[in-house]
Amino acid sequence: MTVRFGFREAEFQPDGFYLNGRKIKLLGLNRHQSYPYVGYAMPKRAQHRDADVLKEELGLNMVRTSHYPQSRHFLDRCDEIGLLVFEEIPGWQHIGGEAWKEQAVRDVEDMIIRDRNHPSIVIWGVRINESQDDHDLYTRTNELARKLDPTRATGGVRYIVGSELLEDVYTINDFVHDGGHKKYLAKEIRNFDTYDDTEGVDGETTGLRQPSLVTKLDYPVPYLVTEYNGHMYPTKRFDQEERVMEHALRHTRVQNASYADEGIAGAIGWCAFDYNTHADFGSGDKICYHGVMDMFRLPKFAASVYRSQKNVEQEIVMEPVTYWSRGERNIGGIVPLVVFTNCDEVEFIYGDERKGVYRPNREKYPALPHPPVVIDELTGHWGMKWEDAVFIGYVDGQEVIRKYYSRNPVPTELRVAADDMVLEAGDWDVTRVVVDALDEYGNALPFYADPVSVEVEGVGELIGPSSLSLIGGRIAFWIRTKGEAGNIRVKVSAPSRFGSQELSIHVQ
């Protein structure tokens, strides 16, 4: 048996997190390893792909395996690409009897023995997520973790303030930021209360609480925020424009607060991907719309908050938060128009008129490496002609990216693309296929919801239904192999507008 391992130095200090002696701010999201139609049952390629999405597409440097140890394939890929991991034992809020506690201790042992060879893991979660204090139980889990692996810090995720700190890092789910909604509810309903204690803090203006207000200690300790947003503002990828904008801005405000406080090692948002759940927790379709991507790994606008923090050498990012429609927002219009970007400045052209050049809003978001641009003026009223738009991004005075938006978009192209064109026979393999309905400028059509049908022939099969509806102009599905070599033919048909597109995927 061969086991890979690696070396690095990872330290949580009261003034932040240090990797190989260099201080970095942790920028992360939580991950459920859940997929449509199959739950957690996805093989190596899909697990690797998720790690790549988090690190390469979103630009994160950390992921939390909420709330259980996850696939070894996912951890292997995190090792390979340098995505740091907070891994924790399974559980959520509940602490059971003595037999249950013994199992929790065994879970700590099993997790560490299985995964301590992974250099990507920098902290062990040895407390049941969001559980109450239990001195005896969590003394045992911390002692065991330190015995099995004295090289890594321990953490224990809670939502309560003044919690007993037995771990090396005070890890907290901080849902203080609410955009002012708690103040509204407190005025409108009787006996208003929430399960998390944020009393006395203005959730409209506060992104994250100061560590000392949460720990209640009179000295600084290593401190990491392990969840925020999530259930505070569930948002569908296809929601109304003002909601998807506010969803993105809430992530922006919290990350700005994290970067601004040297006493916070970083913040891990809830969460990366939407996921299936139960009737007691999610939306009416039993889906938690808490992700910055949907469950098909298609991005919401909030994903651009994270992408735009990349260096321009990694990727040029310029994402206006708009469907470019006159009447989508309340009262009409599109301002304030937020543009998530890592460009130095953005030029905005409306019709034939150059409206101006706008720079990142460092007054409102001074701590972010790349604050968004906010365009706050565009005159026009109902009945006036709506125009095309052009956004141009500049770096060091040079144009680096340009995007066009149509005043009256026309369905023009059905794009069908697989993540992988070559799969492996033997053990089952999978790839995702993304279907986009595009306008004349290559933008997804956000109000396009026509049906498509999927046919699969050859040495593969479709995961899920063969009749799908585009959601916000997009949808995705997975194809799996059958163990044989050969070819898989995938045909996607949208007869109402586009006809058919075909792909051939080789299995070797």
The residues carrying an active-site annotation are 130, 227
Q: Rounded to whole angstroms, how far apart are CA atoms 292 and 306?
A: 9
Q: Rounded to whole angstroms, how far apart are CA atoms 185 and 277?
A: 26
Calculate helix-pair angle for 44-52, 72-81, nearest 10 degrees: 40
Categorise residue 123: left if φ over 0, alpha if ψ from -120 to 50, beta otherwise: beta
The pair of structure tokens assigned to 272 is: 């990366």
Q: Rounded to whole angstroms, how far apart are CA atoms 105 and 107?
A: 5
Q: What is the 3-state secondary structure (H, E, C) of 420-439?
A: CCEECCCCCCEEEEEEEEEC
Q: Rounded to whole angstroms, how far apart are CA atoms 121 and 105?
A: 19
For residue 83, the Cα-to-chain-centroid distance in whole angstroms is 14
Q: Rounded to whole angstroms, how far apart are CA atoms 16 and 223?
A: 8
The β-bridge partners of 407 are: none
Calculate helix-pair angle for 98-115, 135-148, nearest 10 degrees: 20
- Going by C-beta distance under 8 Å and a sequence separation of 6 or more, which residues neighbour residue 137? 95, 101, 104, 105
Distances (CA, A) of 424 to 33, 108, 506: 22, 34, 8
Q: Rounded to whole angstroms, how far apart are CA atoms 57 and 304?
A: 10
Categorise residue 332: left if φ over 0, alpha if ψ from -120 to 50, beta otherwise: left
Distances (CA, A) of 18 to 13, 15, 138, 265, 331: 8, 9, 26, 9, 48
> What number of CA atoms fall less than 13 Å from residue 34's CA on the CB side?
19
Calculate helix-pair angle for 72-81, 98-115, nearest 10 degrees: 40
